[in-house]
Amino acid sequence: MVTDADITGILTQVAAVKTAVAAIPAPADVSGISTEVADLNSEIATILEQLTKIQAASGGTYAGNLNITNAVQLTAAEDIVDASADGPKMTITGNVNIDADKLAPKMRLKS
């Protein structure tokens, strides 16, 4: 059976806990934490994107000759090799033949 003294003791303990919680100092300014978390999430997304590209490069090796003599072949090569600055490094085990003259129409200079 719970007595009035038991209830009073429990209420006294609850009051002591409330006082202790109220005495905990507030943290310093944390407004910058959200920005830092967002920046870190952005960096993580970039890293995951790069890892996906590396994984998609099928081991980083393209076996075969790579001929680029027209726009269709150029588009196909761009699908195979990511030549952007942040793209994965690849090894091409065949020959690479690029004919820039056939890629762009010849331009005449007007005088």
The answer to whether residue 8 sits within a structural domain is no
Residue numbers of the domain that contains 72? 59-106
For the chain, which ranges sit under pLDDT 70?
1-2, 53-60, 83, 86-88, 103-111
**Lookup result for tokens 């056939």:** 102
Q: What is the pLDDT of residue 55?
A: 64
The answer to whether residue 88 sits within a structural domain is yes
On whether the pTM is more than 0.85, the answer is no
Q: What is the pLDDT of residue 99?
A: 85
| CA angle in degrees (0–180, nearest 5) for 85-82-46 | 60
The answer to whether residue 1 sits within a structural domain is no
The answer to whether residue 17 sits within a structural domain is no
- What is the distance between the alpha carbons of residues 33 and 42, in angstroms, rounded to a whole number? 14
**Lookup result for tokens 């994965």:** 88
For 28, list phi and psi in degrees, rounded to 5: -65, 175
The answer to whether residue 39 sits within a structural domain is no
The answer to whether residue 74 sits within a structural domain is yes
Q: What is the pLDDT of residues 35-51, one digit of tens each?
A: 888 888 888 888 888 77
H-helix segments, the chain: 4-22, 31-56, 71-80, 100-103
Name the 3-class secondary structure at 60. helix
The answer to whether residue 49 sits within a structural domain is no
The answer to whether residue 71 sits within a structural domain is yes
Overall domain count for the chain = 1
- What is the distance between the alpha carbons of residues 71 and 25, in angstroms, rounded to a whole number? 67
